[in-house]
């Protein structure tokens, strides 16, 4: 009877090990915690006073993980063990031991070599596709020659394919400098369509997720956000992948464009996105933008001009139209449109400000705004301003009323439509 009980205990212990991966090691030159990111989850291991760590990570099936602060990608498998050794700084060479040592040693070397060089993007479409396919084929042959096990080889074969597939979709931008004007002769489109975006098993790959995003952005490049979302819902069959793509696309839209189409996008996300973490992220960005809604008092804005500090109350009593810009996102090549608006509304109760985010370089600023009309200022605390006003892309336009309340925190650039907005408030 005792033998039966012992056997049962050993069996339970063995079954338990099959659902975890054993992790250990000694790591110098980093923080006191090592974090393994597996999909949407993360697992932390504390380093003791001698810089050692050890523990178990629950795992149902083999997958890749990102290790912080080593900035390394590792392959993990249930029932296996991995020992990590790092002497010195994070940039030093990481060593792997244990049953997963050989696999991760291979992976470390290969990850450094799986980026397409700039020269290949200069090739014509047909030669570009042919060259990338040859690279993928060679990488897979080298992988299979290593005999690192069927499980890892299966996962790594797919990771290699999607590592390059995500880069392929940069071709229209890198070669033609403008994705919107790119028109495939058929070879490029056929090649990218050979990579599926509808396989749930591939969601463990960060490369696949980036490819899927790049792919839908490429296919939906001519669509407004509402039609783009409907395209995703219509064409992506996998519930999990649809949820991932929709949550990323909608979050990025809100991040960059404010609450445009919020009455359609947010209810759509509530129906499709079941992951509470993803929804909290989307709701969080929506809440931040709502703090910049029409009628809300504008957050503090500290400006400088000729050594003197200014704030929003210095402009009280007038409408204020503001262009926020930087030297690397310079709208003044089309300065005539801005100047024409100022001339047309001369004598009206409105002031036109340019606010520079490039630091206190008055000589450079004077050169950049030469022949640009309006009042020119430098933003004092760029980080605070960027956070308060959700400035995620430049140039950015703000429109405030005479009491310092927001009319539009994401106003249109100088154009016919801005005139309509001005006239709607009586200007």
329-363 residue pLDDT tens: 878 877 889 999 999 999 999 999 999 987 666 66
pLDDT for position 230: 96
pLDDT for position 279: 95
pLDDT for position 6: 43
Rounded to two decimals, what is the model's pTM?
0.79
Of the pLDDT bands very low, low, confident and very high (cuts 50, 70, 90), residue 318 is very high
Of the pLDDT bands very low, low, confident and very high (cuts 50, 70, 90), residue 13 is very low
pLDDT for position 17: 58
Residue with tokens 């704030």: 311
Residue, of 335 and 318, whose pLDDT is higher: 318
Q: What average pLDDT does the segment 357-377 reach? A: 78
Strand 319-325 relative to strand 396-400: parallel, antiparallel, unpaired?
antiparallel
Report whether pLDDT(18) > 90: no
Determine whether 399 is exposed, middle or buried from the number of CB atoms within 10 Å of its CB (0-12, 13-18, 19+): buried
Residue closest to 72 by CA, chosen among 44, 96, 43: 96
Q: What average pLDDT does the segment 52-57 reach? A: 94
pLDDT for position 177: 63
pLDDT for position 287: 94
| CA–CA gap between residue 99 and residue 83 (Å, rounded) | 9
Report whether pLDDT(103) > 90: yes
| CA–CA gap between residue 204 and residue 63 (Å, rounded) | 6
Report whether pLDDT(128) > 90: yes
- Domains, the chain, with CATH or none: 20-111 (2.60.40.1120), 118-290 (no CATH), 303-424 (3.40.30.10)
Residue closest to 357 by CA, chosen among 326, 394, 380: 326
pLDDT for position 68: 87
pLDDT for position 2: 52
Q: Which two tokens stand for residue 222?
A: 């001519």
pLDDT for position 113: 72
Report whether pLDDT(11) > 60: no
Residue, of 129 and 368, whose pLDDT is higher: 129
Residue, of 392 and 315, whose pLDDT is higher: 315
Of the pLDDT bands very low, low, confident and very high (cuts 50, 70, 90), residue 7 is very low
Backbone angles phi, psi at 147, to 5 degrees: 55, 55
pLDDT for position 88: 67
Cis peptide before 233 (omega within 30 of 0): no
Angle CA(183)–CA(213)–CA(57) in degrees, nearest 5? 155
Query: Among the listed ranges 177-181, 193-197, 310-314, which one has the minimum average pLDDT value?
Result: 177-181
Report whether pLDDT(214) > 80: yes
pLDDT for position 30: 76
Report whether pLDDT(72) > 90: no
Of the pLDDT bands very low, low, confident and very high (cuts 50, 70, 90), residue 112 is confident
Q: What average pLDDT does the segment 381-390 reach? A: 91
Q: Cβ–Cβ contacts within 10 Å for residue 306, how many?
A: 8
Handedness of CA 11, 13, 18, 19 (dihedral sign): positive
Residue closest to 242 by CA, chosen among 195, 198, 196: 198
Q: What average pLDDT does the segment 119-127 reach? A: 92
Of the pLDDT bands very low, low, confident and very high (cuts 50, 70, 90), residue 243 is very high
pLDDT for position 8: 42
What's the chain's average pLDDT? 88
| CA–CA gap between residue 279 and residue 270 (Å, rounded) | 8
Report whether pLDDT(32) > 90: no
| CA–CA gap between residue 88 and residue 98 (Å, rounded) | 21
Q: Which residues pair with 260 in a beta bridge?
A: none
Of the pLDDT bands very low, low, confident and very high (cuts 50, 70, 90), residue 90 is low
State percent of the chain over pLDDT 90.
Answer: 65
Per residue in 262-305, pLDDT tens?
Answer: 999 999 999 999 999 999 999 999 999 999 999 999 999 999 98
Q: Tell me how far apart the terminal alpha carbons of the chain are, to the nearest angstrom.
A: 94
Residue, of 174 and 211, whose pLDDT is higher: 211
Of the pLDDT bands very low, low, confident and very high (cuts 50, 70, 90), residue 9 is very low
pLDDT for position 92: 58
């Amino acid at each position: 009877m005792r033998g039966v009980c012992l056997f049962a205990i050993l069996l339970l212990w063995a079954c338990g090990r099959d659902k975890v991966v054993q992790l250990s090691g000694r790591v110098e030159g980093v923080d006191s915690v090592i974090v393994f990111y597996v999909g949407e989850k993360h697992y932390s291991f504390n380093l003791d006073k001698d810089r050692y760590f050890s523990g178990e990570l629950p795992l149902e099936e083999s997958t890749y993980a990102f290790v912080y602060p080593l900035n390394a990608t590792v392959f993990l498998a249930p029932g296996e063990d991995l020992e990590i050794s790092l002497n010195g700084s994070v940039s030093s060479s990481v060593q792997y031991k244990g049953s997963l040592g050989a696999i991760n040693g291979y992976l470390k070397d290969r990850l450094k070599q799986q980026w397409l060089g700039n020269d290949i993007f200069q090739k014509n479409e047909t030669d570009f596709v042919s060259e990338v396919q040859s690279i993928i084929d060679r990488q897979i042959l080298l992988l299979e020659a290593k005999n690192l096990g069927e499980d890892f080889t299966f996962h790594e074969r797919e990771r290699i394919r999607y590592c390059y597939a995500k880069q392929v979709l940069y071709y229209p931008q890198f070669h033609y400098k403008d994705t919107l004007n790119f028109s495939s002769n058929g070879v490029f489109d056929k090649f990218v369509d050979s990579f599926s975006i509808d396989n749930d098993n591939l969601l463990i790959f960060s490369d696949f997720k980036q490819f899927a995003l790049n792919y839908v952005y490429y296919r939906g490049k001519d669509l407004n956000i509402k039609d783009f979302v409907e395209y995703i819902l219509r064409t992506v069959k996998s519930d999990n992948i649809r949820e991932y793509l929709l949550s990323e696309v909608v979050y990025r839209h809100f991040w960059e464009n404010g609450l445009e189409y919020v009455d359609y996008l947010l209810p759509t996300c509530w129906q499709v996105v079941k992951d509470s973490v993803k929804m909290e992220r989307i709701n969080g960005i929506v809440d931040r933008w709502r703090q910049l809604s029409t009628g809300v008092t504008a957050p503090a804005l500290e400006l400088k001009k000729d050594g003197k500090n200014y704030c929003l109350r210095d402009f009280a009593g007038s409408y204020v139209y503001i262009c926020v810009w930087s030297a690397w996102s310079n709208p003044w090549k089309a300065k005539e449109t801005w100047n024409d608006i100022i001339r047309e509304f001369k004598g009206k109760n409105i002031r036109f400000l340019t606010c520079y985010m490039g630091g206190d370089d008055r000589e450079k600023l004077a050169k950049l705004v030469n022949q640009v009309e309006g009042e020119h200022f430098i933003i004092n605390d760029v980080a605070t301003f960027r956070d308060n006003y959700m400035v995620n892309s430049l140039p950015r336009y703000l429109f405030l009323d005479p009491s310092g309340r927001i009319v539009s925190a994401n106003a249109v650039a100088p154009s016919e439509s801005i005139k309509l907005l001005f006239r709607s408030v009586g200007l």
